[in-house]
Amino acid sequence: MTAPTQDAQPIAVRRLDHVAIKTPRLAESRDFYVQVIGLTVGPRPAFAFSGLWLYAGQDDVVHLVETDGDKAGSAASGLNHFALRIADFDAARARLRAMGVPFETEVTPGGELRQIYVTDPNGVRVELNAPGA
């Protein structure tokens, strides 16, 4: 990597836009993100490959891309997890328990953030986080 020149402006990142997950289990992945996480299926451009875009409100946040073979999940890749901000930590935890979905919880040092970790059908770890109590 070459160092930027003095007149080069930094890239102005605004926020993470979306996460794309390659999966041979498109329907199972859709069901997980819709039924467990609460996203909705929404519009997607007419790409030459199969997939779905999943929305949180008006924002497409998870793109599922259908593939023909398994890919490495979070435990075997450099990407540990991605995070979604949720409105109600206790309600999310109660829903996961009621659905029998395995999860882990953590609180950040200082208690500013409460986190729930679940794993999708592809082995991708998803953090659901909310402000601390």
User: CA-to-CA distance for 8 and 48, rounded, in angstroms?
Assistant: 36
- Residue 7: pLDDT band (50, 70, 90) is confident
Q: Which residues 6+ apart lie within 8 Å of 132 measured at CB?
A: 107, 108, 110, 111, 112, 113, 114
Give the pTM: 0.89
Q: Specify the CATH number for the domain of residue 114.
A: 3.10.180.10
Q: Which pLDDT belongs to residue 10?
A: 87
pLDDT tens figures, 60-118: 999 999 999 878 778 888 889 999 999 999 999 999 999 999 999 999 999 899 999 99
Domain count, the chain: 1
The residue segments making up the domain with residue 35 are: 19-131
Contact 113, 132 (CB under 8 A): yes
Residue 76 lies in a domain: yes
Residue 123 lies in a domain: yes
Residue 100 lies in a domain: yes
Residue 11 lies in a domain: no
